[in-house]
Amino acid sequence: MYVLPVNEYLLENFPGLRLTPPLFYNWPIGIRFEIGVGYNVNDAYLHSLYLDNAYKRAVTLFKSLHAEDDDIFVIADAVGIEGRRGYKSKLHIFSRYIREKAVLKKLQHIAVPYTCSDDYDDKTHRFFLRCKAGDIRYIPMLRAICNQDMGIKPSISRKIYFINIKKRTIFYLYDDRGCDILAAAAETIWDMYETYNSWILDYDRERINRLFEPLRGRKLDT
């Protein structure tokens, strides 16, 4: 069965979006959550209070946005030599965190213009897998993303995006510091804005509040 390439999906539902960090600033509808709180250099060890709390926030946000049977794209981007190594290196990433090997047969690859700089003469190799959210061992995967700058294994340093196909949302945990959640419509993530309001990164809170203020007025009228 033909699977719509992820870039076609993005063009249709997030026109003009550059799927690259800083993702929150690349799209007008989104929330930036703080994941790790109160870090200091003594927290860089497994099961530190800082990391355990970061893990908990990341998993809580993911579960709030994705039901187990939701259809999603999981995307892993690679550039340069790493990208040209092809499926072997990507299969290693995906195989650790996908429950059934049969699902890995759906893994696809496209090359897109280098996502980090318009001047760099190379390609981003985008590996994407369409599956159910429940097909992913997302708890260890999110933990590995949080670990990337902590010197703790396992870790994932590549950019990983989760796109909820029906809800039209994008979940991007960039590391232990924060998580960007984008949506095609603000109404889709209103509940997350309300429920986890205290987790919003204060630096971007004013912008986020302005986004949801009209929606708040509509909710109060009903």
Residue-level pLDDT at 102: 92
**Are 201 and 34 in contact, with CB atoms under 8 Å apart?**
yes
Residue range of the domain that includes 146:
6-13+23-221
Residue-level pLDDT at 85: 54
Q: Does the residue 198 lie in any domain?
A: yes
State the Cα–Cα distance between residues 181 and 173, nearest whole angstrom: 8
Q: Does the residue 1 lie in any domain?
A: no
Residue-level pLDDT at 217: 66
Crossing angle of the two packed helices 87-97 and 138-146, in degrees rounded to 10 = 120
* Structural domains counted in the chain: 1
Q: Does the residue 127 lie in any domain?
A: yes
Q: Does the residue 208 lie in any domain?
A: yes
**Are 63 and 118 in contact, with CB atoms under 8 Å apart?**
no
Q: Does the residue 217 lie in any domain?
A: yes
State the Cα–Cα distance between residues 128 and 64, nearest whole angstrom: 22
Kind plus residue range of the DSSP H or E element containing 212:
helix 205-221
Residue-level pLDDT at 122: 66
Residue-level pLDDT at 4: 63
Residue-level pLDDT at 5: 78
Residue-level pLDDT at 155: 94
Q: Does the residue 18 lie in any domain?
A: no
Reported pTM: 0.90
Q: Does the residue 190 lie in any domain?
A: yes
pLDDT of the chain, 222 residues: tens digit per residue: 455 678 899 999 999 999 999 999 999 999 999 999 999 888 888 889 999 999 999 999 999 999 999 999 999 988 754 545 555 555 678 889 999 989 998 898 888 776 555 444 467 888 999 999 999 999 999 999 999 989 899 999 889 999 999 999 999 999 999 999 999 999 999 999 999 999 999 999 999 999 999 988 665 555
Q: Does the residue 69 lie in any domain?
A: yes
